[in-house]
Structure 1
C-alpha cells in the first residue's frame, strides 16, 4: 500500500486577522509523487531533500471546511506551508544525498531512456550487482552504475527542480496558488495537507 496526499488550499481574502477559507482548488489530481512529498513535507523522502515544511500539524486556525475534508483514521503527517515559502524554493538546489531508489534506464540508440526508480530491483540487476547487493541507492557513491544487456541502473542525486519537471499537476497547483496570492497577498495563501498510508 502506498501513501496518498489530501488536504486543500486556504486563503484569507480579507488579510491577516481574518478567518481562513477553503479555496476552490482541488488536490484530487495530485498523483502519488514521493519526491514532491519528500521535498515539501518530509514524507516518503527517499530522495533526501531538506523538507520545506515537515510535521507542523494542522494550523490552529484551519477553516471548518478544510477540517471537514478529513475522512479516515489512518491519516498522518498533518502539516502546512505558506505560499511565501513555496515561492522561495530554489529549484536548482541538489538533495543533500543520493536517492535511496536506484534509477533504471533502457539503453537505446538515441541514448539512455529513463524507465523508473525503485528500492527493489529484479533478477537482472541482482545478476550484475550481486545476490547480496544492497538495493538502497544511498549505500553506494553517486554515479555508481550497473549494466546488463539493454539496461542500466545508476545511483543519482536529484535536484529540487526535478520534482516540478515530472509533475505537471504540482506545477498546476503552484500556478493556482500563485494566482490566488496575486489577488489576496502572498501571506494569505497556504497549502494544508495530510497523508494516508
Structure 2
C-alpha cells in the first residue's frame, strides 16, 4: 500500500534533516538513516517521478527506526550555530540560531571570533544590548519541540503503522539544494 503524505507544509528544518538523514547536520546528531538511496523495492509511482538534476541525498527511513528514537538523547557535540536570545524581564526568549550574528555579536565576542558554536565549550555565553548568544547542545526532543509539522508527520506514520504493520511504513526523501 502506498500512502502519499504531502510534505509541503514541512519547513526547511535543518535539525530534523540532520537528525533523521545527516543532511545539513549543524546540530551534530548521529543520523538515523543517512544516504541510503531509494529503497530497492520502491513503488513504480516513486520510480516514475521526474526528479530534477539538482535533487540529491535520496534516502529513506522505516517507521520501526523512527519509533526507536530516544527523544531524550543529546547530540554528541554542541550545535555549530550559536543560539541567540532576547533578554526579557521574564527571562531569555529564544530568537534563533545561525552561523553568523552580525555586528552586535562581533562587538562582544571580538572581530575575529569564530561564529561556529562548536569552536567553544558548551555553555559559553556572550551578552550585549539586551541579547544573549549561547553555545548549546541539542537533544533529539528539541527537534520535535520546535517543529510541530514534523510531529504531525510522525503521528501520521504511527497511525499508518498501526493499520498496516510497523515494517510496512517508511518515509522516502530527497533534497533540492
Q: TM-score, normalised by structure 1?
A: 0.88
Q: Once the two structures are superposed, what CA deviation does each residue of 1:128-159 show, in whole Å capped at 9, x if it has no partner?
A: 00000000000000000000020000000000
Partner of residue 158, structure 2 = 178
The change in CA–CA distance for 1:70 and 1:139 in structure 2 (over 3 A counts) is: farther
Map 1:17-166 onto structure 2 (within 5 A). 21=2, 23-166=3-146
In 2, the alpha carbon distance for the partners of 1:68 and 1:35 equals: 30
Q: Distance in 2 between matches of 1:185 and 1:156?
A: 38
Counterparts of 2:85 and 2:21, CA distance in 1: 28
Q: 1:40 to 1:70 in 2, by over 3 A?
A: farther
- Structure 2 CA distance, aligned partners of 1:125 and 1:90? 34
Instruction: In structure 2, list runs of 5 or more residues that go unmatched.
Output: none
Relative to total residues, which structure has the larger strand share, 1 or 2?
1
Give the superposition deviation at 1:29.
1.0
- Distance in 2 of aligned mates of 1:67 and 1:146: 50
Specify the SS of the correspondent of 2:158: helix
Higher helix share: 2
Instruction: Between the two structures, name the one with larger relative contact order (CA 8 Å, sep ≥ 6).
Output: 1
SS at match of 1:175: helix
Cα offset, 1:71, TM superposition: 2.9
How many residues in Structure 1 have an aligned counterpart in Structure 2? 177
Hey, which bits of structure 1, 4+ residues long, moved more than 6 A?
none
Deviation at 1:65, TM superposition (A): 1.5
Return closer, same or farther for 1:167/1:155 CA change in 2, 3 Å cut-off. same
> 2: CA distance between counterparts of 1:95 and 1:78?
23
Structure 1 gap ranges (5+) = 1-12, 14-20
RMSD: 0.9
How far has the Cα of 1:24 moved from its partner? 3.1
